[in-house]
Structure formats: structure tokens, C-alpha cells
Amino acid sequence: MRDCIDTLKEKKKKIIFFDELPWLDSHKSGFLSSFGYFGNMYASRRDDLLVVICGSAASWIQTGTHTDPGAQIDLLIDRADRRINICEIKFSRAEFSIDKRYAAELANKLNVFRERTRTRKMVFITMITTNGVKQNDYYTNLVENNLTMEALFQ
């Protein structure tokens, strides 16, 4: 990975995005220790790199059955102001669009999270995308906030 990054001559920020990190670290892969070395010895010493790591560590909420499908959450932010952001992280070459099926999936995530955690806090959906989210009725009814990757550098 270092060799690839070193060939990039531009001075602007570079994003290294890992989604589903737990799946990359299979039983004998050694990925996590190699990635730790990469992060400590290379990435942390460069101010032009941003490493974004996502994973499904919330297996207690992901486990489901055919009658209760559960929900997979990309990122959860439990804030001091008694608000919780359930963040959906989507990579898309164009503007991401929420359709009827995906809207139902988002609504299910909210319901499963509220039911299983029994939280009394306000819970919101936040989208983190590469190129924004199309503003349609599904978006308006479900999404509280939308961030693009550019917001990570501000």
C-alpha cells in the first residue's frame, strides 16, 4: 500500500477507506497486525493521509433470524447531548440515491436499534457519502444529516 501511495505526486489529501474491516482480518491473514504497522510507522507520520476504518462490530444488533432480520450499523455516535447518530457510510461514484428498498432498511435499523437498546435518547440517521445524497422523499423522511468525504477535511 505504501508503494502505491508514494507514487501519487499530488500534494492534496488522500483518503484510504476500509469498509468491513473485520471481514478483511480473516483467521490466518495477519491483516490487523500488518495494518497496525502501516498505521503506526507510515500513515501517522504523513499529514496528507486520512485513514477511515469502518466495520460491523455491532454483532449483537446484526444477528437476526428469518422473522427478525436484525440490522448492521456502519458507525454509531453516542453524543453527550443525549442524541445518537446512526451513520450509514456509502461509497458511490455519483450522488447516492435512497430508494424504497433502502428506505425500508434504514427504517428497520432505527427500529431494531431503539428496540434492542431501549434508549431514551433521540436517534437519527446520518449519511456519510463520497458524493452526497439525492434529495428525494425517502431522504427527507429518514435522514437527519448528510456529510460528504470533503467534510472530513474541514
Indicate which CATH number applies to the domain containing 122: 3.40.1350
Q: What is the pLDDT of residue 150?
A: 80
User: What confidence tens digit (pLDDT) does each residue in 82-92 have?
Assistant: 899 999 989 88
Domain count, the chain: 2
* pTM, 2 dp: 0.60
State whether 124 and 82 are in the same domain.
yes
State whether 32 and 87 are in the same domain.
no
State whether 65 and 49 are in the same domain.
no
State whether 94 and 120 are in the same domain.
yes
Report the 3 state secondary structure along 22-67: HHHCCCCCCHHHHHHHHHHHCHHHCCCEEEEECCCCCHHHHCCCCC
State whether 106 and 140 are in the same domain.
yes
Q: What is the pLDDT of residue 133?
A: 96
State whether 48 and 28 are in the same domain.
yes
State whether 63 and 49 are in the same domain.
no
State whether 148 and 107 are in the same domain.
yes
Q: Which residues of the chain have pLDDT under 70?
A: 21-23, 25-26, 54-70, 152-154
**Contacts of range 106-114, beta carbons closer than 8 Å, 24 or more positions apart:** 106/142, 106/143, 107/142, 108/69, 108/71, 109/71, 109/72, 109/73, 110/86, 110/142, 112/61, 112/70, 112/71, 113/61, 113/71, 113/73, 113/84, 113/86
Domain that holds residue 108: 59-153
Q: What is the pLDDT of residue 56?
A: 54
At which of 37, 53, 69 does a domain end?
Answer: 53
State whether 12 and 75 are in the same domain.
no
State whether 145 and 81 are in the same domain.
yes
At which of 53, 77, 96 does a domain end?
Answer: 53
State whether 35 and 91 are in the same domain.
no
